Structure 1
Amino acid sequence: MQATLSLKGRALKYLAAREHSRSELMRKLAPHAEDRAEIERVLDDLQSRGFLSEERFVASVVHRRAAGHGTARIRQELSLKGITADQMRAPLEELQSSELARAHAVWARRFGSPATEPREQARQMRFLMARGFSGDVVRRVLKGELPESFDDAAPDTDDLP
C-alpha cells in the first residue's frame, strides 16, 4: 500500500505544478510503479476526485500557447500529450476564429514591417509556418491584411488627455 501512496503523492506533486494529461502522468509515474495497473488505479482515483481532468489540461495548453502559436502547432502538442481529436475539437475551433489576429501579433512583434525582398518574405513565412499558423493565414498576414478586430483593439486617441 505504501507504493500506491507514493505514486499518488508523486502524481499530486506533478499536478500541483501544472495540469497534466493522463498519458503524461502515466509516463512520468511508470518508473516508480511495479505495474501499469497500479498507476491506472491511482489515475482513476485522481480523475474521479477531479484532480486530473483532460478538459482542464486542454484549456491550460491552449491558454499558454495561443498568444504565440497557431492552431496546427497547438493541435500537434496536444496529440503528443495523448489528447484525442474529440477532446481538442471545441477549444481549437474557438481558437481558429482568432488565428489571423494572433498571427499578425506574432509577426508584428518579430518583424514589424513588411518584407521588401523575396528572401526576407520567405524568412517571415517560414517563421509563421513554424509557429503553426496555416498557409492561408500566413499569406494574408504577409499581404498586410489586418484582422477585423484590429481596428477595435486600437486605442481611441480622441479620449486621451
Structure 2
Amino acid sequence: MNDSKFPKLLDYQALKAQYGEEDIAPPHTEHHSEQSTDDRVDFSEEVTVPEQKKPGLTGTRLRSYAFAVLTRKEYSKADLTEKLALYAEDRDEVIALVDELARENYQSDQRVAETLLSSQKRKGKGPNRIKLALKNKKLNTALIQEELKETDWSIEAYTLKVKKFGKAVEKDPKLKAKQIRFLQYRGFDLDTIFKVITRTELDDD
C-alpha cells in the first residue's frame, strides 16, 4: 500500500507545546465547543405528567352510575362509597346517596355478608377466615352472627380434612402437624382441629 495517499497524523502534543493548550483542540471536540447553550437539553428538569381529571359526576348522573354499579354486583356500603367517590365531584354527596340507597334496600350490607359467608364456606374456609373477609370489606360480624353459630364447623373441617388427607388418623407427628397447619390456615380454631384430626371412621356412624 502506498503511504503517500494517506496524510500523516497530526502530532497534537507537539502543536499544543508550540501554540499553547487553548489554541489547539482535536477535531472530535471542536463540534461540541461550538454548540450553543440554547441547543443543549437540560435533563435535570423533572418532566411532570398532567393529572387526569375525574369525571366529576353529580346529581342524576351520579345516581345513574350508582345504579349501574349495583346491577352488576352487590357492594358493601364502604366499598360502594369508595367506588363512587372515584368519579364524583363531592364526597359528601356520595355519602348521602349511599345512605339513601341503603335505606331503600338497593344496597344491603346484610346481603353482602350472607353472600360472602356462602361463598367462603363453599371454598372450605373456616370462621376465622370468614371473619377476616368481613373485616376487609368493613362489614360487621354481627350481621351473620347467628349463621356462624348455627354452622357445625367440625363437620366443615372434617369434610375438608378427609378431602385433603383421607379418613385415616395420622400418627406421625410431622404429618399430623401438617394437617393442623393446613386447617389453621383455612380458618378453623384449634379445638375444632384436634377433634377433626383424631376422628376415626367409627365416629362417622
Q: CA deviation at 1:14?
A: 3.5
Unpaired stretches in structure 2, ≥5 consecutive residues: 1-55
Q: Which aligned pairs between 1:136-147 and structure 2 lie closer than 5 A?
A: 136-144=191-199
Asked if the contact 1:128–1:138 (Cα under 8 Å) also holds between the matched residues in 2, the reply is: yes
Pair 1:100 & 2:154 matched: yes
Quick check: which has more Rg, 1 or 2? Answer: 2
Unpaired stretches in structure 1, ≥5 consecutive residues: 152-161
Q: Which runs of 4+ in 1 moved over 6 A?
A: none
Matches of 1:15 and 1:23, distance apart in 2: 13
Deviations 1:118-140 (Å, cap 9, x if unpaired)?
Answer: 11111111111011111100111
Percent identical: 28
Pair 1:109 & 2:163 matched: yes
Deviations 1:74-98 (Å, cap 9, x if unpaired)?
Answer: 1111122111243332232223xx1
Report the residue type matching 2:155 in the other structure.
A
Report the residue type matching 1:3 in the other structure.
T
Q: CA deviation at 1:2?
A: 5.2
Matches of 2:131 and 2:157, distance apart in 1: 16
Q: Residue in 2 aligned with 1:74?
A: 130
Q: Which aligned pairs between 1:1-161 and structure 2 lie closer than 5 A?
A: 3-67=58-122, 68-95=124-151, 98-114=152-168, 115-144=170-199, 151=205
Matches of 1:17 and 1:42, distance apart in 2: 18
Matches of 1:11 and 1:82, distance apart in 2: 19
Q: Normalised by the size of structure 1, how large is the TM-score?
A: 0.78
What count of residue pairs does the alignment treat as equivalent?
147
Change (3 A) 1:91 1:18: farther
Q: CA RMSD of the aligned region, Å?
A: 2.3
Structure holding more helix per residue = 1
Matches of 2:69 and 2:171, distance apart in 1: 48
Matches of 2:195 and 2:110, distance apart in 1: 32
Q: CA deviation at 1:145?
A: 5.4
Matches of 2:185 and 2:99, distance apart in 1: 37
Asked if the contact 1:75–1:88 (Cα under 8 Å) also holds between the matched residues in 2, the reply is: no
